Amino acid sequence: MSTASQVATHKSPADPAHPAVGAATSLLDAYTPGDRFLATPDRTLLAHGAARQVPHDERPLDERVNATLAEAGAAGQESPVVIGAIPFDHEAPAALSVPGALRVAPPLASDPLIALPVGVSGSADWRIRPVPEPEVYGAGVASAVERMWRGEFSKVVLARTLELTSRTPLDVPAMLQRLARRDPLGYTFALPTGAGRTLIGASPELLVSRQGRQVVANPLAGSTPRSADLAEDVRRAATLLESVKDLHEHAVVVDAVHQALAPHCTELTVPARPTLIRTATMWHLSTTVTGTLTAPDTSALALACSLHPTPAVCGTPTPTARQVIAETEPFDRGFFTGVVGWGNARGDGEWVVTIRCAETEERTLRLYAGAGIVAASEPEAETAETAAKFRTFLSAVGAEL
């Protein structure tokens, strides 16, 4: 069995009673910049080289990916897989390829060695520049809230960035180690997006996965920072579950996911109320949507394209929210709030929302964080939320805001 076909057939974590010691962490340890690394709750992937790049042209993305996979198969590559990143802007080029070699292991969480600590990576002497400044970001939030009260739109996700510059070259493998070991149950990735550039992150949010005709989506919206004090942490979680503002924000996203998936599914289960998931730094409202595909040839990537961008990363209505983002954010999002993942020629795959991420280039690291703005939002609270989301990455590089 080829490694590519293992991706297609692996369905569940290793038996907890007989964990594959070192199988997943060995792929994490083997990563070097230029490779494509992706760890999900179902599998760990490490790809070397690019046998074929998915082209950028006028065809829909899923058609281009299907054609590239078909070409790879016709050329003799057994069970080819595409892996990589899709930008926030549908019109911008994606960074997707069929790797020349692919190694597959069970999920990181099933490997006992993932619990071993790693040292702080990189230089402690960071120069940090916020773009925009927190006060400017807060003013943008206030302006968006004012426009919502005038009825122009109902939600927008506004982001800000931190530019970190080091005196020494960045140690990307060490950053990846710390991200993966801090949240092994999440979606950790390191993917090349251009010459000398790497998109690296640890996202908590599954956009959509498909295995056979079974579809799963896990929209997240509504968040609060965690606390080191256990009692306070529990109080914050309970408060989030009852927050009118956050429940409304979450409901908007879940409804959008429901509406996008419904035309593709004969059955679709949408829980009436959200639950909670946690990362090392945040609590999130979470709803797991499950369905059965009507047409078995509808790929996971096609579903991802129909969902992207959800109101969780853009806003609603989408065209207006995009315009507000363009007017307010003084930077190009690039791959932030895009999609990362893998897919095969049968249409199976996992596609993840690109949040809690950064892009590296030589000695520069650009971190991204956003917050969902609704009419009840307060600038100070949303600025604090983005600061809390930055902590995922700041801790991985030994920096503090």
> How many CA atoms does the CB half-sphere of 209 hold within 13 Å?
17
User: Which residue from 366, 9, 316, 400 is spatially nearest to 159, judged by alpha carbons?
Assistant: 366
User: Which residue from 169, 172, 161 is spatially nearest to 333, judged by alpha carbons?
Assistant: 161
In the chain, the amino acid numbered 96 is L
* Integer angstrom CA distances of residue 55 from 96, 133, 224, 352, 367: 8, 37, 40, 21, 28
Show the tokens assigned to 345.
């020629």
The DSSP line for 263-292 is GGEEEEE--SS-EEEE-SSEEEEE--EEEE
Instruction: Spot the catalytic one: 146, 205, 362, 378.
Output: 205
Cα–Cα dist 230/243, whole Å: 20
> How many CA atoms does the CB half-sphere of 64 hold within 13 Å?
17
Please say if 205 is a catalytic residue: yes
Instruction: Spot the catalytic one: 63, 78, 155, 242.
Output: 155
Please say if 378 is a catalytic residue: no
User: Where are the alpha helices (H) located in 75-224, listed in sequence order?
Assistant: 134-149, 172-182
Active site residues: 155, 205
